[in-house]
Structure 1
């Protein structure tokens, strides 16, 4: 039996410009691509119609078909990753496993277990940077510490960013290294995974030059459907290369590039400070007298608060799995500051609903809104939902789409008075933070 190398697809579901796959194909022959529907992740999902599973399933199906056209295949398994890899090592003579880095705490523990097992089996286990432009310790302060303020982080990145970091990996040069397979096994069905198909539509994979050129002036207006890229889902699962998107930003939009750097920034925060997954970056914020108000939280989730911009955003999220970024900030601020409900509750809800859910970005942005994170909005910055509506949806086009009963008897009165809620928030925050 010939020795083979496994390439383990994860958050990098593409064959072009894929760092780990490139190195596997360049350095080895008989590379067998593998994807694992991870039960350690899937078993925690509570919605059998979770749209992200449908997206991954369809993407993996397309990937499998593409690799078959290259006279190879994608081996698709369902189970706990370490157990699946151990099983494959019993079936094949595996000499190496290649994959790309993941920065989330659970993923790091998973990879540590795989690396330890592989070392004992004398199987090479190699991982590569692929989903970020810079990672881990690549961007540090002059004193060698991780940045916790975005602007100096961004400035150092822009000084270092050059064509080397943005060039694509030419995977097509080494396609002859794929393991040739004549008879391939079928994928498990989505029903086998314990899920059913969703009827949600997924955003197309298209980076528009027009969008990039107008991004700075249109990105804050939710009624402008083409004002943002809607590529978060594709970035999350790696169906597009961050290097390709950054090249577009460097050419057409510094503001767009800056948003990609915020993504990198939050990933390196999660890497260096994994405690933020469950705790405030600034621990004193966990000591605030947050309200336990399940009925208020339910109204926030349902978009029934009497504040049109927040209600529209929550309804858009529930219906489509997407919410415009400006509206996300206002909705998050409203929960944490108007309702004085802990940011973690909102973060968990977004984690269930967002198609583009990414732990680092979701956590970082929620903590930014609450004031508890690194480089966060100050605690006394409290968005006024009414003035935000006037500024960013002046014609009410966005809110009328999602709140059709607006200006009728069916629409609820504001559940809290803005000025009273603001005063309550400031009192609760200063009581703790000024100690």
Structure 2
């Protein structure tokens, strides 16, 4: 028997916030006390358990959220269904609320949990708190999913002037129920070696950090976003991706804040470009939802016979930023030092791995999964398939980024390379992106010893390009 004092459970997942949290608001409206629960379920996640950088971020974000709830957030570890059954039974809860997640393993698990709970008379309420448009709603007229971004965005998402819903207000005077869990440290999210401490210099996990990041971007980044987002040394990208992944801010809040700002300032083109980037996030989630094997299987089947090379030494040099190509190495070192990489640079290092080195895109996907604070299964797998040419709306196989010309074009003053490759700090601009072409005197004056304090190129660009084109053109 339930009474008005029987608690309802709010199960937090990728929605670590109070503002615009549909599940939390729905639970609050019942008038029942709310049992706030977070479960670290690493038994159902399989190979997609959190990478190291994501674990650090999650730890910090949960710490912030628990402070917001004055220590009333209950932490548990284990298979979610068993944990939920135990908590609901012991607390005498009659209902549970959660915001939906869209990774294939979570969809399967959650469906089973929902069915099991409902057969036991427990009310289950699920909401959308993660996406602007749910994948099953943005379909073609024949009911099939889009595989090309522009029609997906314009006709699937924004058809007939359709707009994302306005963000919901935060519930006031939450009536909380306490339930004893484990300490946050007992989730073992932090590694034994404190390498993650360097990440803290660059990020502020949590809802307040997300709001501050959005405010800073709207103030100083949006104005020149359309062009400036291509230059890694400029302050024109939002860096909201980890905050969005962990749900510290909703995409609806970001969408409408940007829309309002671009209207007030007259930055329509800049704003529309930024909103379309939120659209790409939606597109990636749609692809993962409709093609759940996206993280491991080529969407274009002809790539199943592609002759990927096996070269662990080359892979390690790519991971460590020791390829001999400065723009590639700067990107890989930015990733290792900050848990992040500028989007233009992600395309360059990705192209270099799969096309110049001809190493499988899975290897890049796995490295990003472990080292990015914004590692997101939909974005990560869709983007790697895009750069490899085997995905939906993919880059054509013959599009191979030249790291020298990309560096000269998008790091024209050398600020980005010099920041992350200090051994090249004194190289003149003429040779910064191609130091192997510099005369001995220039190298000596810059203190650069190729093959000693900075590597010689791992491959010759022209040869590796020809090798890749030959392999790609052989696909039928």
TM-score (norm 2): 0.84
3-state SS of paired residue (2:423): coil
User: Does 2:4 align with 1:5?
Assistant: no
Give the Cα separation in 1 of the matches to 2:61 and 2:241. Answer: 15
Quote the residue 1:101 is aligned against: 100
Equivalent residue number for residue 462 of structure 2: 419
1:231 maps to 240
Write the distance in 1 (CA, Å) between the matches of 2:89 and 2:27. 21
Q: Secondary structure at the match of 1:432?
A: coil
Task: Give the distance between the partners of 2:403 and 2:44, measured in 1 at CA.
Answer: 36
Change (3 A) 1:152 1:74: same
RMSD: 2.2
Asked if 2 retains the 8 angstrom alpha-carbon contact of 1:369 and 1:376, the reply is yes
| Equivalent position to 2:348, from 327, 330, 349 | 330
- Distance, in Å, in 2 between the alignment partners of 1:162 and 1:331 is 36
Compute the displacement of 1:191 (Å): 5.0
Please state how far the C-alpha of 1:313 moved relative to its aligned partner.
0.3
Whether 1:188 aligns to 2:206 is no
Alpha-carbon distance between aligned partners in 2 of 1:272 and 1:44, rounded to the nearest angstrom: 20
* Aligned partner (choices 382, 388, 396) of residue 364 of structure 1: 382
Q: How does 1:100-179 map to 2 (within 5 A)?
A: 100-156=99-155, 157-160=157-160, 162=162, 165-172=164-171, 175-176=173-174, 178-179=175-176
1:395 corresponds, among 408, 413, 418, to: 413
Looking at structure 2, the residues matched to 141 and 429 of structure 1 have their Cα atoms a distance apart, in angstroms, of 30
Q: Choose from 230, 242, 248 the match for 2:251.
A: 242
Corresponding residue for 2:32?
A: 29
For 2:344 and 2:25, how far apart are their aligned partners in 1? 37
**What is the DSSP-based 3-state SS (H/G/I as helix, E as strand, rest coil) of the residue aligned with 2:221?**
helix
- The 2-side partners of 1:272 and 1:300 are apart by 32
Are the counterparts in 2 of residues 5 and 28 from structure 1 also a CA contact under 8 Å?
no
CA–CA separation in structure 1 for the residues paired with 2:57 and 2:290:
30
Question: Quick one: structure 1 residues 150 and 192, their matched pair in 2 at CA, closer, same or farther if it must change by over 3 Å?
Answer: closer
Shift of 1:113: 2.3
Shift of 1:275: 1.4
* Of 318, 321, 332, the match for 1:300: 318
The change in CA–CA distance for 1:160 and 1:38 in structure 2 (over 3 A counts) is farther
Report if the CA contact (8 A) 2:54-2:375 is conserved: no
Unaligned runs of 5+ in 2: 263-270, 428-447
Shift of the alpha carbon at 1:119? Answer: 1.9
In 2, are the aligned partners of 1:166 and 1:244 still within 8 Å (CA)?
no
Asked if 1:212 is matched to 2:222, the reply is yes
Distance 1:314 1:41 in 2: 31
Q: Does 2:357 match 1:355?
A: no
CA distance in 2, matches of 1:38, 1:31: 21
Q: How many residue pairs were aligned?
A: 423
1:111-149 superposed Cα distances (whole Å, 9 cap, x missing partner): 022112202211122211111101122111122211110
Distance in 2, Cα, partners of 1:12 & 1:95? 22
- CA shift in 2, pair 1:93/1:370, >3 Å: same
Query: How far, CA to CA, are the matches of 1:78 and 1:357 in structure 2?
Result: 21
> More displaced, 382-391 or 1-10?
1-10
- For the pair 1:62 / 2:55, whether they are aligned, the reply is no
Distance 1:16 1:22, change over 3 A: same
Question: Is the aligned partner of 1:283 residue 2:301?
Answer: yes
- For the structure 1 residues 11 and 309, does the alpha-carbon distance in structure 2 shift closer, same or farther, using more than 3 Å as the test? same
C-alpha distance in structure 1 between counterparts of 2:49 and 2:41, whole Å: 15
CA contact (8 A) 2:22 2:127 kept: yes
TM-aligned CA distance change 1:263 to 1:403, over 3 Å = same
Q: 1:96 to 1:75 in 2, by over 3 A?
A: same
* TM-score after normalising by structure 1: 0.92
Cα distance change of structure 1 residues 250 and 218 upon mapping to structure 2, 3 Å threshold: same
Q: Do the aligned partners of 1:266 and 1:360 also contact (CA within 8 Å) in 2?
A: yes
**Residue 166 of structure 1 aligns to a residue in which SS?**
coil
Partner of residue 339, structure 1? 357
Segments of 5+ residues of structure 1 without an aligned counterpart are: none
The answer on 1:430 being equivalent to 2:464 is no
Of residues 268, 289, 294 in structure 2, which corresponds to 1:271? 289
Deviations 1:18-61 (A, max 9, x none): 1121222224522211111223378969999x343232223222
Q: CA deviation at 1:193?
A: 2.2
